[in-house]
Amino acid sequence: MTTYKIVTIDDSSVIRKIVNKAFQPFDCCVSEAENGAEGLVVIYREKPDLIILDLTMPVMNGIEMLEKIKADPSVKDIPVIMLTAESSKDVVVQIIKLGVKDYISKPFQSDQLMERVKKYLALEEKKVSQFFIKDNDIDILVFPDKMSTHAVTEIKEQLNTSIKEGAKKIITDMSKDDVLNSSAIQLIGFILNSCKKAQIKPIVIAKALVAKELKEYEETASAITCLTLDEAKKSYES
């Protein structure tokens, strides 16, 4: 898995927090600077994979910083996404001529930013562990291909850790499974019971026949099942 280095340069701490939060679900390391002069120091130190640069800043603004970046062969090829409160044609033309890959007008939403970022970086979601993936505020447990004692132990430990850390949404993805076995039933039962104690609504992604089987066992009869991840996520919205 590739860990991408991101540098966000903005005099607004609020904007920097928004950018940081947008990258949290992904395997990225985000560094910050609050003006162009500081930003150059960070860029030369980190040699990032992507720069997110504000246009209007004190000390050294985004245009001045961009000119310095593009004039230096060691960093000129790093893609830059510009954040700007000015969307006039002249500004857009100027930053494009300087080599900006993309730009986004303020105010913006995290998903708008990430749509642009994903054009240049093949982002991968962070894995909380071998079996858990963090997707914004949802913990997704991907059922192991082989239900070994080690796998079950790790899953139980990580589930308990996630609950202690305040997890509110837990999805168990067993969509690859065609049949249930006793180990799977026991593990699902453990997940449901642990979530019930923590007052968390767990959801299980399973094929129709497996979902039907879950209802037939006492320890898994209460499982809320969905066919797809999108369906599971939407169920938290209702």
Annotate 96-127 with three-state secondary structure. HHCCCCEEEECCCCHHHHHHHHCCCCCCCECE
Q: Cα separations (Å) of 90 from 60, 86, 87, 94, 96? A: 20, 10, 8, 6, 10
Number of H helices and E strands in the chain, helices first, is 9, 10
> Which residue ranges of the chain lie beneath pLDDT 50?
none
Nearest to 66 by CA among 85, 84, 49, 53: 53
pLDDT at position 212:
96
Domains of the chain: 4-119 (3.40.50.2300), 132-237 (3.30.750.24)
pLDDT at position 27:
79
- The pTM (predicted TM-score) of the whole model is 0.56
Residue-wise pLDDT for 57-94, tens only, equals 889 888 899 999 999 999 999 999 998 876 667 777 88
Nearest to 4 by CA among 18, 25, 103, 15: 25
Half-sphere exposure of 165 (CA within 13 A, CB side): 14
